[in-house]
Chains A and B, each alone.
Chain A
Amino acid sequence: MATLEIRDLHVSVEADNATKEILKGVDLTVKQGETHAIMGPNGSGKSTLAYSLAGHPKYTITSGTVTLDGEDVLEMSVDERARAGLFLAMQYPVEIPGVSVSNFLRTSATAVRGEAPKLRTWVKEVKETMAGLQMDPAFAERNVNEGFSGGEKKRHEILQLELLKPKVAILDETDSGLDVDALRIVSEGVNRVRESGEVGTLLITHYTRILRYIKPDFVHVFANGRIAESGGAELADKLENEGYEAYVKGGAASGANSGGAAA
């Protein structure tokens, strides 16, 4: 069974000629078939966790380990991670002018599957998956993310998730900027993948709204660069009622402390 293990992960970024530590010791285990929601206020480091796992060059891992089925993920290049079974649905996917969606999807599926999918079955597979996400077939001829609305970008991300069938899927604020209809369609896509029982899902979100459609097995509150509290689905209800204030205060207090120390 596929398992992603994150141990004492510390990550920093370079900003304004200074090094800033963003993740301060993250521990988390995601197993195949499980869904973990990571919730937290803005600036808590949720997205940094997502991009660090995918290998974005902006982030420097200063200590800790990440393994997928015992293999060292941090040693892998970005594309090797994807081929090993990691997938990141991005919050702000970039435009790639001149590269059509159909060409992109096929190139990507060929890379991840290790061989080119048979053309006839592939066309059918893409068509059906797009239909499930209520995407117009003409979409395949557009350039990747070029001129896509916010909702189209997210559907396109989930389309890739469904086609690439990763072992571990990280969804970075896939719900943000979606209206209720789009949120439902996108969530159904995620659920189709989850129902296979073959994917571990790390659902990063600011809001509890998406958890009505995608039921998590575990909820983690992320604050100040680490997991501040973990629990079951009921923890989301608590956050819904009380917000992040209790967690943010701790972060603000430690910020004040460090300021004091500098003075």
Chain B
Amino acid sequence: MAEAQNIPAGSTTAGSIAVAAESTVATRMSAPPSFDVADFPVPHGREEEWRFTPLDRLRGLHDGTAVATGDGVKVVVEAPAGVTVETVGRDDARLGRAGAPVDRVAAQAYSSFRQASVVTVAKEAVLTEPVRIAVHGQGGVAYGHQVVELGAFAEAVVVIDHTGDAVLAANVEYILGDGAKLTVVSVQDWDEDAVHVGQHNALVGRDASFKSVVVTFGGDLVRLHPRVAYAGPGGEAELFGLYFTDRNQHQEHRLLVDHNTPHCKSNVAYKGALQGDGAHAVWIGDVLIQAAAEGTDTYEMNRNLVLTDGARVDSVPNLEIETGEIVGAGHASATGRFDDEQLFYLQSRGIPAEEARRLVVRGFFAELVQQIGLPDVEARLLDKIEAELEASV
């Protein structure tokens, strides 16, 4: 499909638009969703959902050999007043409502975690401070489960920070009550050996707004499934993502927006920069507009900036439409090399090549960062990009 490598700036790679009675988004998974790891065969790497992922770098998360250790990750939740933070057992009824695991590692996480963390924002509570969830890897293997639930008309910002070194499979559920507004920033700022695989399911209530910002900088292998479905009409989802893939890093983001309900909106924008031999970014953007989802308005976009030779991007947008009664549906994917003419222009104004490169990368991301709408998060991301550029370009 749309496999983009070293394509000049400005060119686009078309994905596929399927108009089908049967969902190819669902059928191209090799097994139906399930909470039980036993329902998924051990992947061999040629399955559609695994073909881009180097299985040998999953450190056993995919074949049952990764056993949880005592020193996996340390999770610290800081929450302002109006928020309930609980640690619950596997049998808690509030777990698993936003969606079932869709691949073997997500199911392994669901089958293996011992305790889950549930963060609840009471209905109509409007938080002025963010909830901060720090997940710090301590070098071991861990399985986790996190639920964030907002009652009706509650408003909250949640920042999840992943740092340190770990082999982690963990799923996150976001459940938004009617009219609730949730912004989640998930930062993957792992040490270079870390492996992190997870599924993030959001269930967006009637007239609720969900905004997700996924930022992946670190790790040896990061593979995330941000997924959205709607529990009622009028819901909105904005999914922003930003990744900076360095030498020998594998960063994979596989999105699904399931328009299962009428009159909902979604907007997906992911941008990545890559540099160095063996840098590999994968972006899968699936949007499904089900027959019942009349009045859907959706757009998805992925842009990649390849800064050096030896980096690879696989970008696959996939839009599947089962009803024609929609407001709009579009997608775009483009992978460009750092443009020599831009470099020449900046250099001809006295700016040294490295600084010119930084200026362009900063600009490339700034366009996306400016859409986030949270000044402190924006400033932090720009600082992070700056640090990434200082360290490597």
Q: Which residues of A contact B (CB under 8 A)?
A: 54-57, 77-79, 81-83, 87-88, 90, 93-94, 96-99, 103-104, 107-108, 111-112, 143, 160, 164
Contact = CB atoms under 8 A, between A and B. Distances in A.
Contact of A78 (B339, B344, B367): B344
Instruction: Point out which of A78, A108, A111 has the most chain B C-beta atoms below 10 A from its C-beta.
Output: A78
B363 A107 contact: no
Contacts of B346: 96, 104, 108
A112 B348 CA distance: 10
Interface string B325-346: 0000000000000011110111
Nearest to B363: A98
A49 B362 CA distance: 33
Interface string B349-369: 111110110011011111100
B349 to A, nearest CB: 4
A94 B341 contact: yes
B7 to A, nearest CB: 17
B350 A79 contact: yes
Contacts, number: 78
Contacts of A143: 363
A98 B355 contact: no
Contacts of B342: 94, 96
Nearest to B370: A98
Contacts of B367: 97-98
Contacts of A107: 351, 355, 359
Nearest to B361: A98
B323 interface: no
B138 interface: no
Contacts of A57: 340, 344
Contacts of B12: none
B347 interface: yes
A82 B350 CA distance: 5
Contacts of B340: 57
Nearest to A96: B342
19 contacts: A77-B347, A78-B344, A79-B353, A79-B356, A82-B347, A82-B350, A88-B348, A90-B345, A93-B345, A94-B341, A94-B345, A97-B367, A98-B362, A98-B363, A98-B366, A104-B346, A107-B355, A108-B350, A143-B363
Contact of B352 (A87, A111, A164): A111
A164 B349 CA distance: 8
Interface in B223-267: none
Nearest to A113: B350
B80 to A, nearest CB: 34
A112 B263 CA distance: 55
Given A90-B345, A104-B349, A108-B346, 20 more contacts: A55-B348, A77-B347, A78-B344, A78-B348, A81-B348, A83-B350, A94-B345, A96-B346, A96-B359, A96-B363, A98-B360, A98-B362, A98-B365, A108-B349, A108-B350, A112-B349, A112-B350, A143-B363, A160-B349, A164-B349
Contacts of A79: 347-353, 356
A160 B348 CA distance: 11
B357 to A, nearest CB: 12
Contact of A99 (B339, B352, B359): B359
Nearest to A51: B344
Contacts of A111: 349-352, 355
B347 A96 contact: no
Interface string B110-144: 00000000000000000000000000000000000
Contacts of A90: 345, 348
Nearest to A163: B349
Nearest to B340: A57
A245 to B, nearest CB: 34
Nearest to B359: A99
Interface string B373-390: 000000000000000000
A94 B349 CA distance: 13
Nearest to B365: A98
Contact of B363 (A55, A97, A164): A97
Nearest to B364: A98
B345 A97 contact: no
Instruction: Point out which of A77, A81, A87, A104 has the most chain B C-beta atoms below 10 A from its C-beta.
Output: A104
Contacts of B341: 94
Nearest to A111: B350
